Amino acid sequence: MTRQIFVLNGPNLNLLGQREPGIYGALSLASIETACRALGEELGFQIDFRQSNHEGVLVDWIHEANEKAAGVAINPGAYGHTSIALHDAIRAIAVPVVELHLSNIHAREAFRHKSMIAPVVKGVICGLGQDSYLLALRALKTLTE
Ligand code: CA2
């Protein structure tokens, strides 16, 4: 059975590969999407990969995931550090959510050490670049079985 998985990306992640390769790697978001689709196929997932710079759009997509998807992998970008709205949205849905970050947020500025959504997700993966996305999908495989 093929399950749909939402892979959601927050603000500024559309800029990946263009700047700050030392922190985020040289890959573009499009190439990460391609890798997610390839692994998704292997795992029996149909990947719905999206990015928005707008907090409310991410909230709407989390609600939509509860209707249409078996699980969510989310890189909330900087909203992960600030957004009570994302916390509440994730808390309100029944499907499993995995938080991920490309960089190791704990090895960076103090303001990145706190995640507002960490208490309401199944697990958090960070610091592994593109592999953070792929490991989140592998975790969702187990979580949705
Ligand atoms: O490490 C991650 O994946 C982050 O979620 C990325 C966010 C950052 O605010 C989080 O603390 C950690 C920022 C994404 C911005 O990406 C850029 C890419 C290229 C140039 C500038 C920003």
CA 33/CA 28 separation, integer angstroms: 9
Q: How far apart are CA 51 and CA 94, in angstroms?
A: 22
Pick left, alpha or beta for residue 25 (phi over 0 → left; psi -120 to 50 → alpha; otherwise beta).
left
Cα(65)–Cα(14) distance, integer angstroms: 21
Task: Decide: 15 in ligand 1 pocket, CB within 6 A.
Answer: yes
Beta sheet of 71-75, edge-to-edge order: 45-51, 3-9, 71-75, 97-101, 123-126
Residue of 104 and 19 predicted with greater confidence:
104
Domain regions of the chain by residue span: 3-143
pTM: 0.97
The CATH superfamily assigned to 3-143 is Dehydroquinase, class II (3.40.50.9100)
Within 13 Å, how many C-alpha atoms sit on residue 57's CB side?
A: 10
Q: Please say if 101 is a catalytic residue.
A: yes
Residue 20: predicted pLDDT: 80
> How far from the centroid of its chain's Cα atoms is residue 32's Cα?
12
Alpha-carbon gap, residue 30 to 16, rounded angstroms: 9
**Tens digits of residue pLDDT in 32-79:** 999 999 999 999 999 999 999 999 999 999 999 999 999 999 999 999
Pocket perturbation via mutation, ligand 1, pick of 7, 13, 121 by most ligand atoms within 8 A of CB: 13
- Which amino acid, residue 52? S
Cα of 64 vs centre of ligand 1, distance in Å, is 24
